Chain A
Amino acid sequence: MSMKATIRQVDSVVVVDISGRITLGEGCAQLRELIRDQLGKGNKRVLLNLADVTYIDSSGIGELVSAFTAVSNQGGQLKLLNLTKKVHDLLQITKLYTVFDIHDDEAKAISSFQKA
């Protein structure tokens, strides 16, 4: 199953609901394109909802890092929402858990952008 992404606007934040696989190839390319597109539109507050991500590999983790860096370099913020246990564990193992701002409540995640 490939990656699917649905984009919603909540207040000033772009929420991206991602499902499926973020892996080398199509999934990573899709995510990269999506972030580039949002930054091109001037949307610099991005919340990636990973609740329905079934599989992520090292390339997918790299793509999350790339997205984080791209948004940060534009003066924006990229945060993560609803990690599955597998994604949570991978971010801990790779020591990226402290790099990302991670939330498990969408309303609180949205308001954290507004406070920033």
Chain B
Amino acid sequence: MTSEPSVVEVTLESDLKNLEVAEEIVRRVAGTAGFGEESEHQIEMAVHESMINAIWHGNKNDASKRVWLRFEIYKDRLEIHIRDQGVGFNISEVPDPCSEDNLLKVSGRGIFLIRTFMDEFHVKHLPGSGTEVTLVKRIDPAQQPK
């Protein structure tokens, strides 16, 4: 039997000023899940970058749109779902920012950082209603508070 996760859900206006609100929630959730300081910062950055993608690229900085965040804390992992109202993107078309041709480009590092910092990263298109990304970070039992 799979145990039920602890869930935190929040809906935010699609506005960059809400980045810090999301980060504060992430810190609390990650702390509750038992992550150490470094993992907590990595999760915070991954959510920050995902939120920017949702607000800026997905919702085109339209404050009348929304971003939904859902945190699911399982015994062995933290799953974070971030949904916007945009048309989405093709993950296979995102260029490698570390290649020689792209190294000095100003943008294009967000997805790379998310993938680096999280154990799993998935993109799901929801026809007619938006795009949802899922970030997963596994919980190291050794880091769990006793």
Binding site for B on A (CB under 8 A): 23-25, 57-59, 61-63, 65-66, 68-69, 86, 90, 93-96, 99
Contacts and interface: CB of A to CB of B under 8 A. Distances in A.
A69 B104 contact: yes
Interface string B111-131: 011001000000000000000
Given A24-B16, A24-B56, A95-B98, A57 B106 contact: no
A24 B15 CA distance: 12
Given A57-B48, A58-B109, A95-B98, 11 more contacts: A23-B19, A57-B45, A58-B113, A62-B105, A62-B108, A63-B106, A68-B104, A90-B113, A93-B116, A94-B113, A95-B103
A68 B103 CA distance: 12
Contact of B113 (A68, A69, A93, A99): A93
23 contacts: A23-B19, A23-B48, A24-B16, A57-B45, A57-B48, A58-B107, A58-B109, A58-B110, A58-B112, A59-B52, A62-B105, A62-B107, A62-B108, A63-B106, A65-B106, A68-B104, A69-B104, A93-B116, A94-B97, A94-B109, A94-B112, A95-B103, A96-B103
Contacts of A62: 105-109
A97 B110 CA distance: 17
A68 to B, nearest CB: 8
Contact of B52 (A24, A69, A94): A24
* Chief secondary structure at chain B's binding surface: helix
A84 B45 CA distance: 16
A66 B103 CA distance: 11
Contact of B109 (A61, A68, A86): A61
Given A24-B52, A93-B113, A99 B16 contact: no
B49 interface: yes
A87 B33 CA distance: 25
A16 B52 CA distance: 27
Nearest to B106: A62
B104 A65 contact: yes
A57 B49 contact: yes
A84 to B, nearest CB: 11
B41 interface: yes
B49 to A, nearest CB: 6
B101 to A, nearest CB: 12
A2 B94 CA distance: 30
